[in-house]
């Protein structure tokens, strides 16, 4: 499991961790019953205070995405069926695209400029793989 945290973003680090775990669940990369890294291990890996990771895990637990089992660890909870998960993923993606377009428009970028930037980003990401 790889996390990409932006320490300069206005989004708190615990929120970034939470969103990425939810994204992995929605993408099917984390499935019901999969164990998450321990809070301590993840905090060391990310160079964060363990309380930051604990905050993310608590919020995921409260939202029903994970279940913490005392003495055993934190596991992905049994979520909705495949069709429901696909719908959730599609809604999330549409929400992201909408926010991106609104922000780009606010900054004066055209749809063509945005499409070109997305294509360039995608090509660069493909080259990294």
Q: How far apart are CA 32 and CA 84, in angstroms?
A: 14
Q: How many other β-carbons are positioned within 10 Å of the β-carbon of residue 89?
A: 15
- Is the pLDDT assigned to residue 83 strictly greater than 80? no
Q: How far apart are CA 1 and CA 22, in angstroms?
A: 12
Which CATH number does 13-76 carry? 1.10.10.10
pTM over 0.75: no
pLDDT in tens, 26-38: 888 998 899 999 9
Q: How many other β-carbons are positioned within 10 Å of the β-carbon of residue 122?
A: 10
Between residues 1 and 54, which one has the greater pLDDT?
Answer: 54
Residue boundaries of the structural domains of the chain: 13-76, 82-128
């Amino acid at each position: 499991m790889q996390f990409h945290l932006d320490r300069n973003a206005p989004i708190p680090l615990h929120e970034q961790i939470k969103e990425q775990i939810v994204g992995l669940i929605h993408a099917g990369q984390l499935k019901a019953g999969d164990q998450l890294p321990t809070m301590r291990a993840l905090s060391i890996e990310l160079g964060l205070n363990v309380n930051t990771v604990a905050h993310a895990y608590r919020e995921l637990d409260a939202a029903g995405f994970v279940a913490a089992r005392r003495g055993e660890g934190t596991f992905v909870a049994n979520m909705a069926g495949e069709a429901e998960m696909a719908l959730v993923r599609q809604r999330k993606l549409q929400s992201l695209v909408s926010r991106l377009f609104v922000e780009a428009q606010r900054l004066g970028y055209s749809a063509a400029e945005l499409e070109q930037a997305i294509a360039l980003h995608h090509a660069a990401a493909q080259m990294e793989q």
